[in-house]
Structure 1
Amino acid sequence: MKIIDAHLHFVPENPYFQEIAVRAEHKNTEEDLRAVYQKYNIEGGVVMGNRGVDPVDHSYPEFLRYCVGIDRDFLVSEDKKKSLDQVEENLKRDTCVGIKLYPGYNKMYVTDEVYEPLYDLAKAYKKPVAIHMGQTAGSRAYLKYSHPLTLDEAAVRHPDVNFVMCHFGNPWLLDAAAVVEKNENVMTDLSGLLEGKIDFPKLLEQQRGYFDALKTWISYCSQYEKFMFGTDWPLANYGDYIEVVKWLIPEEKWGKVFYENAKRIYGL
């Protein structure tokens, strides 16, 4: 079975990512990632940008593509035209497959007017907008901005833009499912659900209610063509993540969720 990781981070020089990689029994290096991809037949991945909007800062191994990340520096930039021009320069590249928003961390709703020019660019270049939805890392972000229901209005306002609800809005699974099921232009990935190295049978025994609920709301959508495998690497262990997603998704849908949907949604 071929796999694409539709949501990972690649910042080898960052000490924080080095630390979390160790907890997942990985190394935050290109060499380790290549070895893991070969082991699990992972064809490639989509990096969620953490390096600003300057195209010069976005250089990745040939098996990776990226979404340019919109951080606080962009939102408060005094030269917004220059910043938007840099976003557009990224989108002109074949290696840049979308835009990534971080509303909880940036403390702005996805319906804020500051995002409108980005949606226009996404529409013009026919590339999706991936959005961090759900729980945030650390206590400095505001959850109200990353609640999955906030994506509903943006999706309705921009029917010609495809959105990717990252992390399936976890832990607001019911709300996430409602937004994905209702809106034709909202897709989702299953990244960020695990952290570190796990023993899945043991974890399932401890948190059966949560995993049953997750499986239920994925099934409720009845739209497996909208779901993508993702890990949030180096947050989680690849072998564990594959095992869990296989448990969540009916076997006859594995081809779509693990591979085909990411190819289509991100135009890989």
Structure 2
Amino acid sequence: MKLDDLIALDMHTHAEEPCCGHRDDGYDEFQAGMAKYFKNPAGAKGMLPTVEETAAYYRERRIGCVIFPVDAERETGFRRYKNEEVAEIAAKNSDIMIPFASIDPAKGKMGAREARRLVREFGVKGFKFHPTMQGFFPNDRSAYVLYEAIQDEGAVALFHTGQTGVGAGMHGGMGMRLKYSHPMYIDDVAVDFPDMKIVLAHPSFPWQEEALSVATHKPNVYIDLSGWSPKYFPPILVQYTNSLLKKKMLFGSDWPAITPDRWLADFEKLEIKDDVRPLVLKDNAARLLNLS
């Protein structure tokens, strides 16, 4: 990956399709709900991009991207996209893609063993957690054996925080419990794993100030700005981006739910200082991922 050739680094893209052949029961309804929430017609029509198509899209725009699946088999019943397969495709597109993986913390020592293998053998740079989809509190001690492996291997831990489009508007919210994604639970993780780089994903509605507090207090905690169009960012988030957290804020889209085209167009209209824009769009992520 040649950083000088890229205009930005997207810290948050999803590997959605394909997954192990035919779709599991309920998967179409889940994606239709997501498409409605994010106003994304591709999801509603079953036209979600493959990882290869994602690479082509980002290459055309000269934007690097971190890509990952989500291992939520236990809670959703949807089979996960194999971490190895995503990493192998990313390796073939290493000019534009950086592979992250996802492991349900409930897998305990087996999950920790998988994490070490993925870093050492497949070049995985980080791990995505979605506490609401995976049904766990981030500071649950049962997850610590996995965090230990991630910290030991020098990888990044990226946690979904705040409300989610998963299950939004669906019967019973598709069983998704928002409480798991409160950013303050990750404050405990930052204390207990001070050498593990942590990213709080998304503006953490309705706990934005708590997320900003954790990121300002803990040196190893960053925030990615994915999942929301910048035109909806609360004023305090813009304020901290321009000041105390200017070296810790990261561009993220939440592809394919939100495209970088949409995100970047709205970010351009935001009152962000000229010297801060390149930090958010590329420089902070490059430093976090040890690319620069």
Q: Distance in 2 between matches of 1:91 and 1:13?
A: 23
Which moved further from structure 2: 18-27 or 162-171?
18-27
Label 1:94 to 1:41 Cα distance change in 2 as closer, same or farther (>3 A). Answer: same
- Over aligned residue pairs, what C-alpha RMSD do you find? 2.9
Of all paired residues, the percent bearing the same amino acid is: 24
Confirm whether residue 236 of structure 1 aligns to residue 258 of structure 2.
Answer: yes
Partner amino acid, structure 2, of 1:11: E
- Alignment-derived partner of residue 212 in structure 1: 235
* Superposed structure 1 runs of 4+ greater than 6 Å apart: 23-26
Q: How does 1:43-62 map to 2 (within 5 A)?
A: 44-50=64-70, 52=80, 55-58=83-86, 59-61=88-90, 62=93
- Alignment-derived partner of residue 162 in structure 1: 197
Q: Distance in 2 between matches of 1:249 and 1:262?
A: 17
The alignment partner of 2:10 has SS state of strand
TM-score of the superposition, structure 2-length normalised? 0.74
Cα offset, 1:237, TM superposition: 2.5
Cα offset, 1:70, TM superposition: 2.2
- Alignment-derived partner of residue 197 in structure 1: none
Partner amino acid, structure 2, of 1:218: T
Q: How does 1:175-194 map to 2 (within 5 A)?
A: 175-194=210-229
- Match among 37, 41, 45 for residue 58 of structure 2: 37
Cα offset, 1:152, TM superposition: 1.2
Cα offset, 1:39, TM superposition: 4.2
Aligned length: 249
Cα offset, 1:226, TM superposition: 0.7
Give the unaligned 5+ runs of structure 1: 195-199
Cα offset, 1:38, TM superposition: 3.8
The alignment partner of 1:252 has SS state of coil
- Alignment-derived partner of residue 102 in structure 1: 130
Cα offset, 1:171, TM superposition: 3.6
Cα offset, 1:68, TM superposition: 1.5
- Alignment-derived partner of residue 11 in structure 1: 16
The alignment partner of 2:252 has SS state of coil
TM-score of the superposition, structure 1-length normalised? 0.80
| CA deviation string 1:211-242 (max 9, x = no partner) | 434323434x6121111101110001222201
Label 1:95 to 1:64 Cα distance change in 2 as closer, same or farther (>3 A). Answer: farther
Confirm whether residue 245 of structure 1 aligns to residue 267 of structure 2.
Answer: yes
Which moved further from structure 2: 15-24 or 153-162?
15-24
- Alignment-derived partner of residue 66 in structure 1: 99
Label 1:34 to 1:82 Cα distance change in 2 as closer, same or farther (>3 A). Answer: closer
Q: Distance in 1 between matches of 2:258 and 2:81?
A: 26
The alignment partner of 1:239 has SS state of helix
Give the unaligned 5+ runs of structure 2: 1-5, 20-27, 72-79, 168-172
Cα offset, 1:188, TM superposition: 1.1
Cα offset, 1:262, TM superposition: 1.3
- Alignment-derived partner of residue 28 in structure 1: 49
Q: Distance in 2 between matches of 1:159 and 1:228?
A: 20
